[in-house]
Homo-oligomer: A and B are copies of this chain.
Amino acid sequence: MSLTSSEENYIKAIFQLQVKDGMVSTNEVAAVLQTSAASVTDMLKKLKTKKLLVYEKYKGFKLNGEGRKLALMVLRKHRLWETFLVKILHFNWDEVHEVAEQLEHIQSQQLIDHLDDFLGNPAFDPHGDPIPDATGKMPFQSQMNLNKFPFQINGEVTAVGSQSPDILSLLEHKKITIGARIKVLQRFAFDNSFEIQINNKEQAHISAQLAEQIYVKKL
């Protein structure tokens, strides 16, 4: 079963939406891929024909086992390439997403196997997201959203929910990186913003919107 670049982009988007929401809607996918709802419907028919998802019109849809397996392979490629770009070619973590979006579509099992070995079979990408292994298994990470992280407990930043340059440059400005130490000092009910301490030094004020994108684990 080989997929076009376009098909790969769709199943990856659907996979990431269904992890959060269960069932996925046409408009959600259109928003993520920045395309029209009509184009999404076209692709849904095609992917249904290829037996990669469960779909009845007007009822929503989700990937089946085969679809999930293929989506995990695209995610694997994407995250391995991101790791390569940052670790080996010294890109900044906010510069890699667009290029990985292209590289993930290169068709060569040998390439991705060798790349994985060369990188030392990394478990997480530069944004802290888990990299599926060759069988599609994801390493477990006991991370939780910063919004739900308890007060006055030492945590470590493990992942960032979005890779938009806007968010990443804000995080860089606040010196919040993957691996940074973090402690929630105070929460403001008015706007659900937080005061946090970073690396036992700087303090920063985090909007609810931003906190939603930051994942943390207890130390």
Contact = CB atoms under 8 A, between A and B. Distances in A.
Interface of A: 85, 88-91, 95, 98-99, 102-103, 106-108, 110-111, 114-115, 118
12 contacts: A88-B118, A89-B111, A89-B115, A90-B114, A91-B110, A91-B114, A95-B110, A99-B106, A99-B108, A99-B110, A99-B111, A102-B108
Contacts of A110: 91, 95, 99
A84 B114 CA distance: 11
Contacts of A107: 102
Contacts of A95: 110
Contacts of A88: 118
B102 A106 contact: yes
A81 to B, nearest CB: 10
Contacts of A108: 98-99, 102
Given A85-B111, A99-B108, 9 more contacts: A88-B118, A89-B111, A89-B114, A89-B115, A91-B114, A95-B110, A99-B110, A102-B106, A106-B106
Contacts of A102: 106-108
A69 to B, nearest CB: 22
Nearest to A90: B114
Contacts of A89: 111, 114-115, 118
A217 to B, nearest CB: 31
A88 B117 CA distance: 11
Contacts of A115: 89
